[in-house]
Amino acid sequence: MISDLPIEVYGISLVVRLVPDEDAAIQLQCPKGSSILYGEIVSRGDGFDSGGNVFRAMPHIGAIVAFEESSDETRGHSFMVADDEFRLVTLDDILVALPPSWWRRKPRS
């Protein structure tokens, strides 16, 4: 399991475990025809964007994210652990992040 690996990332970097399209709660379509990949966040940086000298909000561990990948360029760096494929991507690569399953909106009073 990836949680057993001592992987740390920094800044606005994220490590995502790719998940099959059919396991994602939503299906995005790219108007340019690029592939949309889905992944579960397993590690994240502290959100410090050194280019802007500011902290940015980061998706939670366990969130499902979607990012675009063109046929001629792979998004982020990839690696395999057992049978799982992982990507190291930046926050700027993420199109949408769905909250993890443990997160629930608090009811309005």
pTM tops 0.75, yes or no: yes
Written as one string, the DSSP assignment of 72-93 is TB--SEEEEETTEEEEEEEGGG
| % of the chain surpassing 70 pLDDT | 88
> Is 33 a residue whose pLDDT tops 70?
yes
Residue 39 pLDDT class (50, 70, 90 cuts): very high
Mean pLDDT score across all residues of the chain: 85
Length of the chain measured in residues? 109
Most confident of 27-31, 44-48, 70-74, 105-109: 44-48
What pLDDT was estimated at residue 3?
52
What pLDDT was estimated at residue 1?
47
For the chain, domains (ranges, CATH) are 8-98 (2.30.33.40)
E-strand ranges in 7-90 read 13-19, 35-44, 48-49, 54-55, 64-69, 77-81, 84-90
46-92: pLDDT as tens digits: 999 998 999 999 999 999 999 988 777 777 888 988 889 999 999 99
